[in-house]
A and B are shown apart, each in its own frame.
Chain A
């Protein structure tokens, strides 16, 4: 990254002038506290991540999958972070940073509700008032997380514009910020948005890859041949990849949501997928120049995925740059394959993964034998929040999941 927040041609700061002074203030705070550990900020964060967040998380050899694919499969268990996903690494970092910056209030968007939950938990933990914006469609399909956020004392504002998913939630949070920027910090949940967010969120999340690299060295004494992570906005992917980007022997694989179909329909403005890195084109969305799903006029498409956390028409600019340079392989896994992988991991390894995470394991099923001798897969979150969706979708798609789903008929009316 260059000093102006560019990753090659991607990145930048495309936000209204009214927000630019706050972006400058945040950039200054990021430089001083995060990059230079001023006032011991990073030590303070590490202490909170340990005692409150449950870090470090283990790596685990997946014995059944290793046998199935004929290679050593290691799992980085971010599902064991407090809250059940990697999202806390970033949310806790930003809420703590907001305190160091003397901000009085926190706002955030959320898609699946994992980032929202991580933010409200962090705010409750650190004593900051908090408001979350969440698309109406996501509120309905991720009800347990909405309840968790309210339990933490936060206000959850449903967003009724458009299809009511992550894209609309981000736009609405930016509108709140435009009113309240002098006292409020906006905790963006992924490696998206204007500089310094993509770099800052990557730095907070790269604890995933840093720990895994050290743990693999201790356990097997070498680097993996491949790192596999699912990517929506891309915070889990960037956090897993960042410490390996300079290691040229390590292949990096970002797995996107292929949804039901990889086509896009410019007339209806609908893309039945969220495969931004794979089929997106250059454009500007939510503050940065990156790859996006858009029609020929530059209107942003409505993306789709069975997994709310991957359902986004944009992606982090650094990931777009890594794909463009050939350093990173982007791939897609469709809804059915992800659901099957969800069941497989649950049954063979005893880990019920988030639907987002299941996409990485769908990729492993398709390509596991060709990824090398040692493969590191990030389990970005646990699947408790997705159980209702998985029951409904598995039933509707008549998936063979190895047991009888009809017992749930009463619940799926």
Chain B
């Protein structure tokens, strides 16, 4: 069987939306956890209808130090609505089997899952639920050996982030351990919308590619995130050589902006997803036709 994440990058660049699992959107009184999870499923349906190739799902943590205000607020809403790791895995288990799912969460959530310290129980539960990859934004390569080993045995990818500040030496360590795709952080800061990310993206992608050439590593798909909010940005990023575009905060802004009107949130989510997926394809066409690739 082809690896679902690898399959998502074949032929066309991948559009990869992010949502905080269990975040129903703004509320006056928190809904039941079941309703919140069902709402997340409906949002995922909207993203898939809009052209999502992989979905990144955040398992909310009380201390999201790498996230900006939009995802922080979504995490708070999800926790208030009763999101737990077990409900997260049930949610993933109920999603269509052919949709690649990447779980994104903080290390303490991985380490504490199952009640005793260690990473094995989280990896087992993730693999059983159908999680294809895991991103842990507060886990640098130095601390990642236990998780990487457990994930390799379970057939789950561990996806690492390459930042604008990542040195060549660190990039080598990141590339050695990373599987599935490389998350290329387009700019410094926490997650959140931003206007211009293309210059930084171009130089980051160039560095990763020259690393792959120099070390004869099998190329990993490179997906760019942090600050992407429009179809035009997605097109620019793919034209600059990215294999995928990751969008989180801009999509959650659509959910937040719809207030308590869930049907409207779903419509807006699908509309923005459609624009971003189209931008991703447009970028691929520009790349094939032209001199833009550096």
Interface residues of B in 68-107 (CB under 8 A from A): 68, 72, 76, 79, 84-85, 106-107
A283 at the interface (CB under 8 A from B): yes
Residues on B with C-beta less than 8 A from A281 are 117
Q: Pick from A17-25, A99-107, A204-212, A361-369 the stretch touching chain B.
A: A17-25
Please report the number of residue pairs spanning A and B whose Cβ atoms sit closer than 8 angstroms: 119
Would A15 and B140 be within 8 Å (CB), given that A299-B62, A300-B62 are in contact? yes
**Interface size on A (CB < 8 Å)?**
39
A283 neighbours in B (Cβ, 8 Å): 108, 111-112, 117
From A17, A22, A284, contact of B162 by CB (8 A): A17
Residue from the set B76, B79, B107 with the largest chain A CB neighbour count within 10 Å: B107
Known: A15-B140, A16-B140, A297-B85. A171 touches B65 (CB 8 A): yes
B190 at the interface (CB under 8 A from A): yes
- Residue B185 is within 8 A (CB to CB) of chain A in the complex: yes
Set B85, B142, B167: member contacting A13, Cβ < 8 A: B142
> Is B34 an interface position by the 8 A CB rule?
no
The reply to whether the CB of B189 lies closer than 8 angstroms to some CB of chain A is yes
Flag if B138 contacts A284 (CB, 8 Å): yes
Question: How far does the alpha carbon of A171 sit from the alpha carbon of B64 in the complex, in Å?
Answer: 8
Q: Chain B 160-190, CB within 8 Å of chain A: the 1/0 string?
A: 1111111100100010000000000100111
Q: Mark A292-333, 1 if CB is under 8 A from B, else 0.
A: 101011111000000000000000000000000000000000
B65 close to A294 (CB less than 8 A) = no
Q: Within 8 Å CB of A16, what residues of B?
A: 65-66, 137-138, 140, 161, 163
Q: Which residue of B lies closest to A299 (CB)?
A: B62
Beyond A269-B62, A299-B79, whether A17 also contacts B188 by CB under 8 A is: no
B61 contacts across to A, CB distance below 8 A: 298-299
Interface centre among B64, B76, B117 (most CB of A within 10 A): B117
B113 interface residue, CB < 8 Å from A? Answer: yes
List CB contacts (< 8 Å) of B11-59 with chain A: none
Question: Is B63 on the interface with A (CB-CB < 8 A)?
Answer: yes
Known: A175-B68, A180-B188. 16 other contacts (CB 8 A): A4-B142, A15-B65, A16-B161, A17-B185, A19-B165, A20-B166, A21-B165, A21-B167, A24-B167, A162-B62, A171-B63, A181-B188, A286-B65, A292-B108, A299-B62, A299-B79
Residues of A participating in the B interface, judged by any CB pair closer than 8 Å = 4, 12-22, 24, 161-162, 167, 171, 174-175, 178-182, 269, 281-287, 292, 294, 296-300
Give 6 nearest A-B pairs by CB, closest first.
A298-B112, A18-B163, A179-B189, A299-B62, A284-B108, A298-B108
- The residues of B with any CB-CB pair to A shorter than 8 Å are 61-66, 68, 72, 76, 79, 84-85, 106-109, 111-113, 115, 117, 137-143, 160-167, 170, 174, 185, 188-190
A-B contacts, 19 listed (Cβ < 8 Å): A12-B142, A14-B138, A18-B166, A18-B185, A162-B62, A167-B63, A175-B189, A178-B190, A181-B188, A182-B165, A284-B106, A284-B108, A287-B138, A294-B108, A294-B112, A296-B112, A297-B85, A297-B113, A298-B108
